[in-house]
């Protein structure tokens, strides 16, 4: 039996459908989704999870209408600034990972400030993936390795050596990956890092995903048999 996963990751999906079902704008769903982020951060910390990572905005999400992208960035900015006190009070380290060059200076400045201020916190690390895609991560890691290493060192690289060039360097691979809203795909998320992750799919839309749903996922994880290709 696995007990509590060290790293839980979530593809937070279904905000738009949640809003639509209520006859509201998609942004209304994103606002409700931000409440779930708060609730699940607290639940994960209380459960003893050490890393909670959340897929908040994919590289492909840049292709949404400008109004929605802007609404998401505004919400994000408000979240990063507004959560600082809660993160400090709860000893949570905040990290944002992704293709940060594509984010605005304003968003990047807020991220840097919150990351710096929470850098010493130890209870849990909250990772927000922003402007992230798994293929991009592997590609940038390869380029970084090629630029850093000599051709001989590059050729001698072993799998664990490659990990340190990914944006997730230093963060253990996710033990459990949850996706809400009934979609059964990975949508270019942690492709390399999820090689042996346990997947949990639920039809619940992200704004409705709260502590009880989170605990149901942890219970299901505890029943999984992780074999890593071996015979047990
Ligand atoms: C998830 O909800 C939030 C982001 C991807 C930013 P969606 O906005 O994808 O909601 P649906 O899938 O359209 O319902
Ligand atoms: C995945 O959700 C990305 C995030 C949750 C940030 P999407 O709603 O963008 O994924 P697809 O388009 O349904 O695959
Ligand atoms: Mg979606």
pLDDT in tens, 107-152: 999 999 999 999 999 999 999 999 999 999 999 999 999 999 999 9
The response to whether residue 92 sits with its C-beta less than 6 Å from ligand 1 reads no
Q: Is 166 within a domain?
A: no
In a domain, 167, yes or no: no
Among positive and negative, which fits the CA dihedral 217, 137, 110, 207? negative
* Residue 195 belongs to a domain: yes
- pLDDT number for residue 232: 85
Sorting pLDDT into bands at 50, 70 and 90, what band is 1? Answer: low
Q: How far apart are CA 213 and CA 116, in angstroms?
A: 32
Q: Which pLDDT score is estimated for 10?
A: 99
Q: Is residue 194 part of a domain?
A: yes
Domain assignment present for residue 160? The answer is no
pLDDT score recorded for residue 224: 97
Is the pLDDT at 30 greater than 70? The verdict is yes
Instruction: Give 185-221 pLDDT, tens digit per residue.
Output: 999 999 999 999 999 999 999 999 999 999 999 999 9
pLDDT of residue 42: 98
Average pLDDT over residues 79-85: 97
Mean pLDDT of all residues belonging to the chain: 97
Confidence of residue 100 (pLDDT cuts 50, 70, 90): very high
Q: What is the pLDDT of residue 82?
A: 96
pLDDT at 70 over 70: yes
**Greater pLDDT, 174 or 1:** 174
Instruction: List C-alpha distances in Å: 13 to 24, 34, 45, 144.
Output: 17, 12, 21, 31
> Can you give the pLDDT at residue 115?
98
| Cα 115 to ligand 2 centroid, rounded to whole Å | 25
State the distance from the centre of ligand 2 to the C-alpha of 227, rounded, in angstroms.
29
From 9, 40, 60, 184, mutation site for ligand 2 pocket: most ligand atoms within 8 A of C-beta:
60
CA–CA gap between residue 216 and residue 73 (Å, rounded): 31
Structurally, the chain folds into a number of domains equal to 1
pLDDT of residue 118: 98
Domain that holds residue 96: 7-133+173-223
With respect to residue 212, please indicate whether it lies within any of the assigned structural domains.
yes
**CA 152 → CA 137, 156, 159, distances in Å?**
23, 6, 15
Q: Is 72 in the pocket of ligand 1 (CB under 6 A)?
A: yes
**pTM value?**
0.98
* CA–CA separation, 138 and 109 (whole Å): 25
> For residue 150, is it within any domain?
no
For residue 228, tell me if it sits in a domain: no
Q: CATH no. for residue 64?
A: 3.40.1180.10
């Amino acid at each position: 039996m696995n007990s509590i996963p060290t790293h839980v990751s979530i593809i937070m999906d279904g905000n738009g459908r949640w809003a639509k079902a209520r006859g509201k704008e998609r942004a209304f769903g994103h606002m409700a989704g931000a409440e779930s982020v708060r609730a699940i951060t607290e639940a994960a910390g209380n459960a003893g999870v050490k890393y909670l990572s959340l897929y908040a905005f994919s590289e492909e999400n840049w292709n949404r209408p400008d109004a929605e992208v802007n609404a998401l960035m505004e919400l994000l900015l408000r979240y990063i600034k507004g959560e600082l006190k809660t993160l400090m009070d709860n000893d949570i380290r905040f990290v944002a990972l992704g293709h940060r060059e594509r984010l605005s200076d304003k968003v990047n400045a807020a991220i840097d400030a919150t990351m710096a201020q929470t850098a010493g916190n130890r209870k849990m690390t909250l990772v927000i993936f922003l402007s992230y895609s798994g293929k991009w991560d592997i590609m940038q890691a390869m380029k970084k390795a090629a630029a850093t290493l000599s051709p001989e060192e590059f050729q001698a690289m072993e799998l664990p050596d490659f990990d340190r060039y990914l944006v997730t360097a230093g963060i253990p691979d996710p033990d459990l990956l949850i996706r809400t809203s009934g979609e059964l795909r990975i949508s270019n998320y942690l492709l390399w890092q999820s090689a042996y992750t346990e997947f949990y799919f639920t039809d619940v839309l992200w704004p409705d995903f709260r502590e009880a749903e989170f605990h149901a996922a942890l219970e299901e994880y505890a029943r999984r048999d992780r074999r890593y290709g071996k015979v047990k």
